[in-house]
Amino acid sequence: MCLTSLLRHKSHGCYGFHCPRCNGTAYYVIRDGIRKIFQCRACRHQTSLIAGTVFQGTKLPLTVWFLAIYLVSQAKTGLSSLALKRQLGVSYPTAWLIHHKLMQAMANRDERYVLDGRIQVDDAYLGGERAGGKAGRGSENKVPIVAAVSLTEDDHPLRVRLTPVSGFTLKAISAWAKDCLAPGSTVFSDALACFGAVTKIGCSHHFTVIAGRKPKETPEFRWINTILGNLKTSLSGCYHAFNFRKYAARYLAAFSYRFNRRFDLCSLHERLLVAAASTTPQPLHSIRMADVRC
Question: Quick one: pLDDT at residue 36?
Answer: 80
Q: Label residue 13 by pLDDT band (50, 70, 90).
A: very low
Q: Label residue 255 by pLDDT band (50, 70, 90).
A: very high
Give the residue with greater pLDDT, 148 vs 8. Answer: 148
Average pLDDT over residues 224-253: 88
With respect to residue 171, please indicate whether it lies within any of the assigned structural domains: yes
With respect to residue 41, please indicate whether it lies within any of the assigned structural domains: yes
Q: Do 42 and 125 lie in a common domain? A: no
Q: Do 11 and 127 lie in a common domain? A: no
With respect to residue 203, please indicate whether it lies within any of the assigned structural domains: yes
Quick one: 70 exposed, middle or buried, by C-beta within 10 A (0-12, 13-18, 19+)? middle
For the whole prediction, is pTM greater than 0.85?
yes
Average pLDDT of the chain, as a whole number: 87
**CATH code for the domain in which residue 179 is found:** 3.30.420
Give the residue with greater pLDDT, 218 vs 264. Answer: 264
With respect to residue 7, please indicate whether it lies within any of the assigned structural domains: yes
Does position 217 have pLDDT exceeding 70, yes or no? no
134-188 tens-digit pLDDT: 555 555 668 999 999 999 999 999 999 999 999 999 999 999 999 999 999 999 9
With respect to residue 254, please indicate whether it lies within any of the assigned structural domains: no
Which residue from 109, 5, 10, 98 is spatially nearest to 51, judged by alpha carbons? 10
**Cα torsion angle, 282, 256, 250, 72, sign:** negative
Q: Do 127 and 43 lie in a common domain? A: no
From residue 92, alpha-carbon distances to 16, 55, 85, 87 in Å are 35, 18, 6, 11
Question: Quick one: pLDDT at residue 7?
Answer: 65
Q: Do 141 and 20 lie in a common domain? A: no
**Cα torsion angle, 177, 171, 191, 107, sign:** positive
Domain span at residue 185 reads: 118-247
Q: Do 127 and 10 lie in a common domain? A: no
From residue 53, alpha-carbon distances to 57, 101, 268 in Å are 9, 10, 19
Q: Do 123 and 243 lie in a common domain? A: yes
Domain count of the chain? 2
Average pLDDT over residues 117-142: 72
Can you give the length of the chain in residues?
294
Give the residue with greater pLDDT, 8 vs 130. Answer: 8
